[in-house]
């Protein structure tokens, strides 16, 4: 047959040829069974050992990365606590300078007020009335021996009674005057008491505030000590704080990006009047590139402004300037922000006019019902101008969540990388174990392919074992017969 394959042994019978080839292949595989088993097991052992070695290497890298993340986290935590402690000490300093720097004068004032109150108190003390002197006079009159029947004694006693009544009235009047004067002095003491109470309350509030600040500083120092020791509690606390800061700062950046998009749409259309609608830069419209560049300049100016005020520390060299230089730099950045705000407000005003003119032009070109006069309400225009003026300052404040996001992203990225390395190490170990058991599976599959000669080998082996056992039994019986004959002889 001219179209038959050269691999067919019997060209007229393809099935027989396939069976013969299969039998020859099985026989060849049977002959190479031991070497094939060793090769499969050796390959699987090499693959398993390689994967386990790679797994150990990845675990070592993960441990090194985890240790590095721990060090970075502790360092950032120490820096954050140091800033908080420094801020609390500054607040304590301001409190002491504001409320306690005049303590000597306040002490002198308190002493004067206390001395004045003491003096008024002494002056307001009640003076006991003088004991009556008429008692002795009455006793002397009673001792007189009157032989005329007591007429003289009665006259004397009447005069004494009149004098006593007059003296009593005078004593009551003097007592009322003294009591009124004492009340007047006591009433004059009330302002001093009020001043003294107000001063003491102020001092008490200051002392309470200082105690609160001291408790806060003690708590921060405890946290600082925990961080310095590198305890697991401090690491967990800092990790949780970093995760929270990451998501909150990401939300803040998302809002800032939304503001940037609104700002871009607000100034892109007026920019087309400045750059021309048909001008392109690197495949992009020149107006869009100009609007984006303006927004980026505003953001960069805001970052420098926040750096100069000390709210952020993205550029350490700005924080290293002296206060006078930083304040001058902050004023320059603030002027630039106001300039950008004014530019955007003007562009927003132009945008409203351009949009109205484009609408009128489109209506005139379509000719649908004549040209409609543009809407004359000033509310949208004012709203756009206010938005254009405020958005640069909002973009300036995006530096705060940006710094928080940058610092928190380092920790989050380190944790994610460590988790990824642990996952890779686990997969490598699983792969190595799988290769180890796949070797046994491949050996079994190899024996399953060549099962006919193996089955025949097993049957032949059983027959040989049975024959060998029969031969050993016959030899034993022959030996026993020989021994019996020797004993009979």
Q: Quick one: 342 exposed, middle or buried, by C-beta within 10 A (0-12, 13-18, 19+)?
A: middle
Backbone angles phi, psi at 144, to 5 degrees: -75, 135
pLDDT for the residue 472: 64
Q: How far is residue 177 CA from its own chain's centroid?
A: 74
Q: Is 281 helix (H, G, I), strand (E, B) or coil?
A: strand
pLDDT at 197 over 70: no
Mean pLDDT of 434-444: 82
Mean pLDDT of 314-321: 78
Residue 330 near residue 309, CB atoms below 8 Å = yes
Question: Is the CA virtual torsion 403, 404, 405, 409 positive or negative?
Answer: positive
pLDDT for the residue 335: 92
Tokens for 238? 């800092």
- More confident: 24 or 130: 24
Q: Is 59 helix (H, G, I), strand (E, B) or coil?
A: helix
pLDDT for the residue 83: 77
pLDDT at 361 over 80: no
* Planar angle of CA 143, 148, 151, nearest 5 degrees: 75
Rounded Cα distance, 419 and 413, in Å:
10
pLDDT for the residue 338: 92
Rounded Cα distance, 105 and 448, in Å:
106
Q: List the one residue out of 67, 62, 64 whose CA is nearest residue 416.
A: 62
pLDDT for the residue 485: 59
- More confident: 89 or 132: 89
Q: Quick one: 345 exposed, middle or buried, by C-beta within 10 A (0-12, 13-18, 19+)?
A: buried
Q: DSSP state, 489?
A: -
Residue 30 near residue 379, CB atoms below 8 Å = no
Alpha-helical segments (H) within 127-231: 134-142, 151-229
- Please report where in the chains the tokens 């050269």 appear, as a residue: 6
Question: Is the CA virtual torsion 6, 10, 13, 14 positive or negative?
Answer: negative
Quote the mean pLDDT of the chain: 75
Tokens for 207? 């002392």
Q: Is 374 helix (H, G, I), strand (E, B) or coil?
A: coil
Sorted by sequence, the CB contacts under 8 Å of residue 92 that are 6+ apart come out as 210, 213, 214, 217
Residue 452 near residue 29, CB atoms below 8 Å = no
Sorted by sequence, the CB contacts under 8 Å of residue 253 that are 6+ apart come out as 398, 401, 402, 405
Over the stretch 228-278, which tens digit does the pLDDT of each residue have?
A: 877 778 788 777 888 888 888 899 889 988 888 888 888 887 777 777 666
Rounded Cα distance, 439 and 446, in Å:
10
Mean pLDDT of 348-365: 69
**2 confidence band (pLDDT: 50, 70, 90):** very low
Q: Is 313 helix (H, G, I), strand (E, B) or coil?
A: coil
Element (H, E) at 95: helix 33-95
pLDDT at 470 over 60: yes
Residue count of the chain: 489
- More confident: 446 or 108: 446
pLDDT for the residue 376: 52
Over the stretch 407-420, which tens digit does the pLDDT of each residue have?
A: 888 888 888 888 89
Mean pLDDT of 191-198: 66
Over the stretch 133-190, which tens digit does the pLDDT of each residue have?
A: 555 665 565 555 555 545 666 666 667 667 767 777 777 777 677 666 666 665 665 6
Question: Do the bridges between strand 280-281 and strand 284-285 make them parallel or antiparallel, or are there none, so unpaired?
Answer: antiparallel
pLDDT for the residue 1: 43
pLDDT at 488 over 70: no
């Amino acid at each position: 047959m001219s179209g038959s394959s050269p691999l067919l042994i019997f060209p007229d019978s393809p099935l027989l040829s396939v069976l013969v080839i299969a039998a020859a292949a099985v026989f060849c595989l049977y002959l190479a069974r031991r070497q094939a088993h060793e090769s499969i097991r050796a390959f699987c052992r090499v693959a398993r050992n390689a994967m386990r070695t790679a797994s150990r290497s990845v675990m070592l890298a993960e441990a090194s990365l985890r240790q590095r993340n721990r060090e970075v986290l502790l360092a950032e935590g120490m820096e954050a606590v140091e800033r908080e402690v420094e801020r609390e000490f500054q607040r304590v300093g301001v409190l002491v300078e504001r409320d306690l720097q005049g303590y000597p004068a306040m002490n002198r004032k308190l002493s004067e007020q206390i001395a004045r109150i003491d003096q008024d108190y002494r002056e307001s003390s009640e003076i006991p009335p003088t004991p009556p002197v008429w008692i002795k006079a009455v006793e002397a009159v009673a001792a007189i021996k009157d032989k005329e029947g007591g007429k003289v004694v009665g006259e004397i006693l009447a005069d004494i009674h009149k004098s006593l009544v007059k003296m009593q009235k005078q004593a009551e009047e003097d007592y009322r005057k003294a009591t009124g004067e004492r009340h007047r002095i006591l009433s004059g003491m009330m302002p001093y008491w009020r001043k003294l109470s107000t001063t003491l309350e102020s001092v008490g509030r200051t002392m309470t505030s200082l105690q609160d600040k001291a408790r806060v500083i003690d708590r921060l120092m405890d946290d600082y000590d925990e961080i310095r020791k590198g305890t697991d509690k401090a690491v967990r606390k800092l990790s949780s704080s970093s995760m929270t800061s990451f998501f909150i700062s990401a939300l803040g950046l998302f809002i800032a990006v939304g503001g940037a998009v609104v700002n871009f749409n607000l100034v892109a259309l007026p920019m087309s009047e400045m750059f021309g609608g048909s001008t392109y830069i690197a495949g992009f419209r020149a107006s869009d590139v100009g609007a984006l560049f303006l927004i980026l300049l505003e953001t960069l100016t805001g970052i420098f402004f926040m750096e100069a005020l000390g709210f952020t520390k993205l550029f350490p060299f700005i924080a290293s300037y002296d206060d006078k230089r930083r304040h001058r730099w902050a004023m320059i950045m603030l002027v630039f922000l106001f300039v950008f705000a004014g530019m955007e407000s003007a562009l927003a005003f132009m945008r409203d006019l351009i949009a109205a003119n484009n609408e009128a032009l489109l209506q005139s070109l379509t000719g649908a019902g004549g040209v409609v006069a543009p809407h004359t309400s000033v509310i949208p225009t004012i709203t756009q101008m206010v938005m254009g003026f405020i958005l640069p300052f909002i973009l300036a404040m995006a530096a705060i969540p940006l710094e928080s996001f940058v610092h928190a992203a380092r920790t989050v990225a380190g944790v994610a990388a460590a988790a990824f390395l642990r996952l890779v190490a686990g997969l490598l170990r699983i792969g190595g174990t799988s290769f180890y058991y796949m070797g046994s599976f491949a050996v079994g599959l190899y024996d399953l392919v060549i099962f006919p000669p193996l089955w025949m080998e097993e049957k032949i082996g059983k027959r040989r074992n049975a024959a060998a056992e029969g031969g050993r039994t016959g030899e034993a019986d022959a030996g026993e017969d020989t021994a019996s004959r020797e004993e009979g002889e």
